[in-house]
Amino acid sequence: MKTVLIVEDEKMIRQGIRAMIQRSGVPVENIMECNNGEMALAVLKDTPVDVMFTDIRMPKMDGITLVKEVSKLPQKPLVVAVSGYDDFSYAVEMLREGVREYLLKPVERDKIKEVLEKLEAELSQREKAHKQTKQIETKQMKLLLATEEEVASDEMDITSFEQYFTEGFYIYCVPGSVETKEREGVLVFPEVWSEQVLIVDASVAEMIEKNELGHIIYGRSDSYTKLTELQKAHRQAHDRRKEAFCIGESVWANREYKVPDDLEKEAHKLLDKDNAFKRMQLVGADKPEDLRHAFHQVVDAAEKNLLPAAEVVQLYKAFYNEFAEVYRNVLQEEQEKVKELQNPLSYVCLDAYDRDSTRFLLQIQEKIQSQYDSSQNNRKMQKAVEYIRENYAKDLNMAVVSNYISMNYSLFSYSFKQFTGMNFVGYLKNIRMDEAKKLLAETELKVNEISQQVGYDNVKHFMKTFKAMTGVAPSEFRKNAQIREEA
């Protein structure tokens, strides 16, 4: 037993239970204490606990409420209720909520020892069962993913599986969110590449499709008879599941689509790096409609079979992998949702995935905007402006400045525009042109020298930019400035 948590508002009783646990002879690595239910729940959310002793009547959160909240956690401790009241209704309610033991105060040392020994045995049995389950899952996974050579050799023990496939088999890849059960003629692998994988005996395949998979969008392999073909069948089903995900209907055979070359070429532009970068930038910008449109283009192309299904799935995976890294400081509370969106095939279809994804990205967009409209953000923007004014003559770009103030590139782009009223490129150009005007009017430096001093290596580019912004060439601007001065 690794960790025991004692939840009791009276310090003397907490210390008494701790002492009895330590003297029980049952090995416990760590004993933790909390004086109310709220504190205990916070601990349980962050720390694995094997056994929890809890009082019933406590301030802030009582024991019954605590036990109900604990039952919702993914890792649940075995619970022992400790009460000063011999109240049958309390006992019944606690036991109904899954409490293992109900002890009355004052708690006796022998009773603590008896309960701990009993729970230690239960934990050991649970651990043993968990290991056995893992071994079975590992064995099944090896079988599914093994190469033909491995299956054909003595390395893979496949005898126990042959009873399922008397008439050949199909492999089905279904969304990870769909619940399926193992039964005669059907083997279920709960989690492979964010999908559930079913190996189904050919004799029951039609019945399974009709009764259980009728409303599910899946990918199905061809029929195979040899277990050495498992990997091939799985790959085929997985590829068809990607296609099914994109078009919104099940796929059980290879399909050929004739798409005009010009449409296909145009659609493939959506997959290039420039478009990927643009989508990432839009998350940090105040442009919700542009964000929706950027992803809807991908969905529309995929549903019309203008893009390979595998590349569409990979596009979303790559986007959310980078998204998790770029916006990691903003996503402290959304880690689970990001993990879910990193696995598109856990969703039924692309349409459902896109709706959920877009809704989430718009929420994050609002969060980013609210976080970076703060006084702290204004100080960072002021620092950026000062840096630009001091370094405009250097090879300056947005990446350099955002890195200087330690801000994410996309967040900086949005925040800078909010602070200055213009985008970074326009702001830098204005600074450089203002300085160029000053040098033209007040010095006798040559145009190419001024170009260098305001950050332009290419004098032709400088002259073109200057004229575009002022309406006149640098030489003409200087002449006009001299005329004004003489007048």
The angle, 0 to 180 degrees and rounded to 10, between the axes of the packed helices 424-442 and 375-391 is 40
Q: Looking at the structure, tell me whether residues 217 and 239 fall in a common domain.
A: yes
User: Among 371, 404, 435, which residue terminates a domain?
Assistant: 371
Domain boundary among 124, 157, 176: 124
Q: What is the pLDDT of residue 446?
A: 93
Cβ-proximal residues to 202 (8 Å cutoff; 6+ apart), any chain: 165, 167, 168, 169, 170, 223
In a domain, 254, yes or no: no
Contact criterion met (CB below 8 Å) for 98 and 77: no
**Is 328 part of any domain?**
yes
Query: What does pLDDT average to in each consecutive run of 10 residues of the chain (487 residues)?
Result: 90 92 90 91 89 89 88 86 72 78 86 92 82 58 55 50 70 76 72 77 86 86 85 90 90 70 63 67 70 81 81 86 75 82 88 90 79 70 92 91 85 83 91 92 92 93 92 90 68
Task: Provide the CB-side half-sphere exposure for 351 (13 A, CA).
Answer: 8
Q: Are residues 191 and 276 in the same domain?
A: no
64 and 83: one domain? yes
Chain-centroid distance, C-alpha 80: 36
256 within domain boundaries: no
Last residue of a domain, one of 371, 393, 417: 371
Same domain, 241 and 287: no
Q: What is the pLDDT of residue 5?
A: 95
* Full-model pTM: 0.49
Domain membership flag for residue 145: no
AA letter at 213: L
- Quote the number of domains for the chain: 4
Residues 467 and 384 in one domain: yes
pLDDT at site 430: 92
Domain match, 194 and 286 both: no
Domain of 408, CATH number, reads 1.10.10.60
Is residue 136 situated within a structural domain?
A: no
Same domain, 231 and 212: yes
179 is in which domain, residue-wise? 166-247
Inside any domain, residue 61:
yes
13, 114: one domain: yes
Judgement on whether residues 272 and 366 belong to the same structural domain of the protein: yes
- Residue 464 confidence (pLDDT): 93
207: domain CATH number? 3.30.70
Q: Both 114 and 7 in a single domain?
A: yes
Q: Are residues 382 and 280 in the same domain?
A: no
* Domain assignment present for 157: no
Residue 412: per-residue pLDDT: 84
Residue with tokens 């009728």: 214
Residue 104 belongs to a domain with what CATH number? 3.40.50.2300
Would residue 252 count as lying in a domain?
no
Specify the pLDDT at position 18.
93
Q: Where are the alpha helices (DSSP H) in 248-349?
A: 261-268, 273-283, 288-303, 309-326, 335-341
Q: What is 391-424 written as a DSSP string?
A: HTTS---HHHHHHHTT--HHHHHHHHHHHHSS-H
Q: Are residues 295 and 205 in the same domain?
A: no
Determine how many CB atoms are found less than 10 A away from the CB of residue 30: 12
Contacts of residues 434-439 at CB distance under 8 Å and 24 or more positions apart, as own/partner, are: 435/392, 436/462, 436/466, 436/474, 437/470, 437/477, 437/481
Task: Provide the pLDDT for residue 114.
Answer: 92
